[in-house]
Amino acid sequence: MVDKKNDINQVVSIEVADDYALICLNNPPVNAASQLLRQGLQDAMAFCTAQSDIKAIAIYGAGRTFVAGADIKEFGKPPQAPFLPELVNTIEQSSTPVISILHGTALGGGLEIALGTHARVGIKGLRLGLPEIHLGLLPGAGGTQRTPRLVGIPAALEMILSGRHVPAAEALELGLIDQLCEGEARDVAINAAKDVLAGRLKTRRTDQITVKPNHAHLDEVEAKLMATQAHLFSPHKCVEAVRASSLPINEGLKVERHAFMECMDTPQRAGLIHAFFGERAVSNIPEAKGAAREIAKIGIIGGGTMGSGIATACLLAGLSVKLLETAQENLDRGRTTITKNLEGAVKRGKLSQDKFDMVLSNLDGSLEISNFSDVDLVIEAAFEDMAIKKEIFTKLDAVCKKGAVLASNTSYLDINEIAAVTKRPEDVIGLHFFSPAHVMKLLEIVVADKTAPDVVATGFALAKKLRKIGVKAGVCDGFIGNRILSYYSKTASYLVLEGASPEQVDQALERFGFAMGPHKVGDLAGLDIGWMTRKRKAATRSKQDRYAGDVADKICENGWFGRKTGQGYYVYDGSDIRPNPEVRTIIEATRTKLGITPKSFTENEIVDRYMTAMISEAVRVLEDKIAARPVDVDMVFLFGYGFPRHRGGPLHYADEIGAEKLIERIETYAKDDDHYWKVPNLLRDMAAQGKKFADLNR
Ligand code: 3HC
C-alpha cells in the first residue's frame, strides 16, 4: 500500500510505500526534461536513496507520455543545472535499484533517462527513439554510449542516424526494454517495483556492459554519409560518438559531450529547431483554432495531376470524394491516376492493402456539377484561367448546399475576384496545394477579404486531417510562395545571362542544400509551363522589367521541355543526366544578341545573389501582410519548395546574414539593375533598429 505522497516541486512528486517509492514526472504536455523536471527528479532521487527502507524506485510519467526529450525551448539559452548527463549518471549509480515505466513516447533525453535506470518496462503502444539528429544534435545524455551497450553498435547507430520511433515490440526484441505489458503507468510502476523486490524483474547497470568495437561497420556508415550528407554536421558527430562507445564509459561520455556541444553551436542546430517549432507555430494562431465547419464529403473539380493528387490526399485521410470532369475519358484518366497514387501509398507503407479497396470505394466520379449538391467542401483544380474559374464558381453557387465551403486551388489568381461572382463570398477561400498533392506537405490557406472565420478554421482543420502544414496567406499574385518564387527565379536566369552556366548555378544551390537546382527543377516540372506563363503575361510586363526568359524561350521553341521530352537544360539518357551542349550555344548566342560580356561567378556569389533575391521578396510579402510572420514564409519554403530544412527557411537564414549586410548586397547589385534590386523599407527599419526577423515572430 502506498502511504505517503510528497510534491518535490510543481512537476515531480513521490509516493512512498513500505519498501519502495514511485517517482511521478508530470510536466505537460510531453513531460519535457526542463530544468524544473531535472531538479525535481534529482531531488526525488536524493530523497529516495537516503531512505534505507526504500529498496526499489520506479519512475513513471503522468499524462500522455513518459519524457519526450530534453526541453527543446532551453536550447540556445545558457544551460542551467542540474544537467541531464549528470542526472542520468546519478540514477545509474544509485545502489537502490531504479526502474523506468515507459508509456507513450520515450524520446531523446527521455530514453536516455530510461537507459540510466536498471530496468525498463514498456507499456503497449510505446515508441522509443533518439530523434536528436532531426534537431541537428546527437543524443547528449549518454544515448550514444548506453544504446550500443544494450543493442550493439549497428542497431544503435541505425536508431541514432534515422531518429526513427522504434515500436515497443521491436524494442523488446532488440533488448532496449526488458518487459512489455499493459495497464496504467502508475499501476505498472507498483507491480514493477514489487517484481524487483521479489526478484521477478532483474536489474543491471547499463554502464557495466562492454561494447564490442565494430570499426568496419562504422567506417562503412561514415563513407555512405560522406557520399550523401557531407554538408550536414551532426550525422558525422553521431558516428564519432558511437565509435567511442567501445571505450570505458567515462571516456565515451566525454567524447559524446564534446560532440554534443559542437553540434549545439552550429547554425544547422538553430535552423532545425526553428523548423521544429515553426511547423507547429503556423497553425498556432486564433484563426486556426476557431469553430470549423463539418467536412466529410469533398467535391473536386478537375482530374488532372493536381486534382487527382488532392483527391488521393483526401481519400487517404478517410474522406469521401466526388471527382468532376468534363468528359468520361478525363474522368477515367483521373481515376487511373488516383488508383496509381493509392498503389504507391501501399508500397510506401502509408496505406495497408486491406484498406486499399475500402479507400478507393470512397471515390465517386461525375460529369454533372449538379451532383455537388451534397458536398461539404469543393476544391476547384481546373485550368488556371480566370474566365473558367468564374464560370465554375457561378455554377457552384447555384448548386452547392448552404454552408458548403467553396475553395479554389489556384496558384496565382485573385480569390476576391473569384468570390465576387458568388452570392456567398464568405464561403470562398483559396486552398493552394503543391504537386504531387498527396505527397507535398504544404497547404496555403488563402484568406480573401470576405472569407468567414469558420471557413478559415475549416481550411486549417482540413490541413490537419490531411496531415499537411497549413499556412495562412493573403491574396496577391502567387500568394506567399509563388509570388516569391516568380521574383527570385529570375535571378537564376540573370546569372546565366551574365556568365554562369545552368549547371554551375544548380550545383551551387545544391551544395547550399536544395535537393535540386532551379534548372533541374524546371526540367522536371516541364519548361513549357513557364513558357506559357511568360507568353500569357507578355502583354502586361512592365517595360522596365529586364526580361529573364530569353534562353528558356529558345529552348522551348526547339520543343525541349525538360525530362518529359528527353532534353531541356540537361539531356536525359536513362539514369545519365548531362548538361545540354545545345543550350550552351543558345546561351552564347543570347549573350551576343544582348551585348553581354560574360563574367565569372564563384559558388558563394551565386548563392548570395539567389538568396538575397528570395529574401528581398519575402520581406515585401511581409510588408504587404500577405504572410503574417517571418515563420509563415519559412514554413512555406520548407514544406513547399524544398528549401533545406537545416537552414530553417529564407528569413531564418536572413537573420544569419543580418539586415545590414543584406542591404549592402542589394545596393551593390542595384548598381547593375536598380529596377530589379530594391531595398525593402522593412529591411532598412530593421537594420536601423538592430532587429532580427526572429523578433517579428514573437
Ligand atoms: N521540448 C519542448 N517542447 C516540446 C517537446 C520538447 N522536447 N516536444 C514537444 N514539445 C511541445 C510542442 O512544441 C507542442 O507545443 P505547442 O502545443 O505549444 O505547439 C507540444 O509539446 C505538443 O507537441 P506536438 O504537437 O508535437 O504533439 P504530438 O502528439 O503530435 O507529438 C511528440 C508528440 C512525438 C513527442 C513530438 O512532440 C516530438 O517529436 N517531440 C520532440 C521529441 C524530440 O525531438 N526529443 C529529443 C529532444 S533533444 C534531446 O532530448 C537532447 C538530449 O539528447 C540531451
pLDDT digits (tens, 9 = 90+) for 599-619: 999 999 999 999 999 999 999
pLDDT exceeds cutoff 70 at 380: yes
pLDDT (0 to 100) of residue 167: 97
pTM value? 0.94
Length of the chain: 698
Residues 76, 139: one domain?
yes
Distance of CA 66 to the CA centre of its chain: 24
**Which residues are designated catalytic?**
112, 132
pLDDT exceeds cutoff 70 at 1: no
pLDDT (0 to 100) of residue 597: 95
Grid coordinates representing 187 are 499501476
Ligand 1 center to residue 107 CA distance, Å? 9
CATH of the domain at 579: 1.10.1040.50
Tell which residue, 420, 454, 490, has the closest CA to residue 289: 454
Distance of CA 601 to the CA centre of its chain: 32
pLDDT exceeds cutoff 90 at 517: yes
pLDDT (0 to 100) of residue 407: 98
CATH of the domain at 402: 3.40.50.720
277 CA: nearest ligand 1 atom: 13
pLDDT exceeds cutoff 90 at 6: no
Residue 276 forms part of a structural domain: no
Residues 405, 469: one domain?
yes
Residues 136, 194: one domain?
yes
Band of residue 4 on the pLDDT scale cut at 50, 70, 90: low
Question: Please, which residues have CB within 8 angstroms of residue 319's CB and are 6 or more apart in sequence?
Answer: 295, 296, 297, 298, 362, 465
Residues 84, 208: one domain?
yes
Q: 443 and 381 in contact (C-beta within 8 Å)?
A: no
Give the end of a domain, one of 475, 496, 528: 475
382-397 residue pLDDT tens? 988 999 999 999 999 9
Q: Looking at 282-385, list the stretches that DSSP marks H as alpha helix, in order from N- to C-terminal side.
A: 286-289, 305-316, 328-347, 353-361
333-360 average pLDDT score: 94
Residues with CB under 6 A from ligand 1: 29-30, 32, 68-73, 84, 105, 107-109, 112, 131-132, 135, 137, 139-141, 143, 280, 284
Ligand 1 center to residue 517 CA distance, Å? 32
Write the residue with the smallest CA distance to atom 29 of ligand 1.
30
261-270 residue pLDDT tens? 999 999 999 9
- Residue identified by cell 557531407 is 230
Ligand 1 center to residue 531 CA distance, Å? 44
Residues 495, 469: one domain?
no
Ligand 1 center to residue 406 CA distance, Å? 35
281 CA: nearest ligand 1 atom: 19
Q: 287 and 436 in contact (C-beta within 8 Å)?
A: no
- CA–CA distance, 232 with 229 (Å, rounded to integer): 6
To test the ligand 1 pocket, which listed residue (35, 65, 72, 697) has its Cβ within 8 A of the most ligand atoms? 72
Ligand 1 center to residue 73 CA distance, Å? 10
Residue 277 forms part of a structural domain: no
Question: Please, which residues have CB within 8 angstroms of residue 477's CB and are 6 or more apart in sequence?
Answer: 412, 414, 483, 486
Residues 244, 297: one domain?
no
682-694 residue pLDDT tens? 999 999 999 999 9
Write the residue with the smallest CA distance to atom 44 of ligand 1.
131
276 CA: nearest ligand 1 atom: 13
pLDDT exceeds cutoff 60 at 341: yes
- CA–CA distance, 99 with 590 (Å, rounded to integer): 73
Band of residue 529 on the pLDDT scale cut at 50, 70, 90: confident
Residues 521, 615: one domain?
yes
Domain enclosing residue 8, as ranges: 4-264
CATH of the domain at 148: 3.90.226.10
Residues 532, 388: one domain?
no
Distance of CA 261 to the CA centre of its chain: 24
538-552 residue pLDDT tens? 888 888 889 999 999
Grid coordinates representing 690 are 538592430
Give the end of a domain, one of 455, 475, 495: 475
Write the residue with the smallest CA distance to atom 35 of ligand 1.
68
- CA–CA distance, 500 with 611 (Å, rounded to integer): 16
- CA–CA distance, 507 with 514 (Å, rounded to integer): 9
Residue 273 forms part of a structural domain: no
pLDDT (0 to 100) of residue 398: 97
pLDDT (0 to 100) of residue 431: 98
Residues 347, 221: one domain?
no
Ligand 1 center to residue 263 CA distance, Å? 19
pLDDT exceeds cutoff 80 at 428: yes
To test the ligand 1 pocket, which listed residue (30, 84, 88, 283) has its Cβ within 8 A of the most ligand atoms? 30
Residue 640 forms part of a structural domain: no
3-class SS at 111? helix
Residues 124, 242: one domain?
yes
Q: 163 and 267 in contact (C-beta within 8 Å)?
A: no
327-354 average pLDDT score: 94
Residue 281 forms part of a structural domain: no
Total domain count, the chain? 3
491-503 average pLDDT score: 97
User: Using alpha carbons only, how large is the chain's radius of gyration in Å?
Assistant: 29
Write the residue with the smallest CA distance to atom 10 of ligand 1.
30
pLDDT (0 to 100) of residue 3: 57
Write the residue with the smallest CA distance to atom 39 of ligand 1.
68
pLDDT exceeds cutoff 90 at 536: no
pLDDT (0 to 100) of residue 698: 83
231-253 average pLDDT score: 97
Write the residue with the smallest CA distance to atom 53 of ligand 1.
139
Residues 39, 126: one domain?
yes
Residues 531, 421: one domain?
no
Residue 93 forms part of a structural domain: yes
188: buried, middle or exposed (CB in 10 Å: 19+, 13-18, 0-12)? buried
639-650 average pLDDT score: 97
Residue 275 forms part of a structural domain: no
20-69 residue pLDDT tens? 999 999 999 999 999 999 999 999 999 999 999 999 999 999 999 999 99
Residue 642 forms part of a structural domain: no
- CA–CA distance, 441 with 632 (Å, rounded to integer): 14
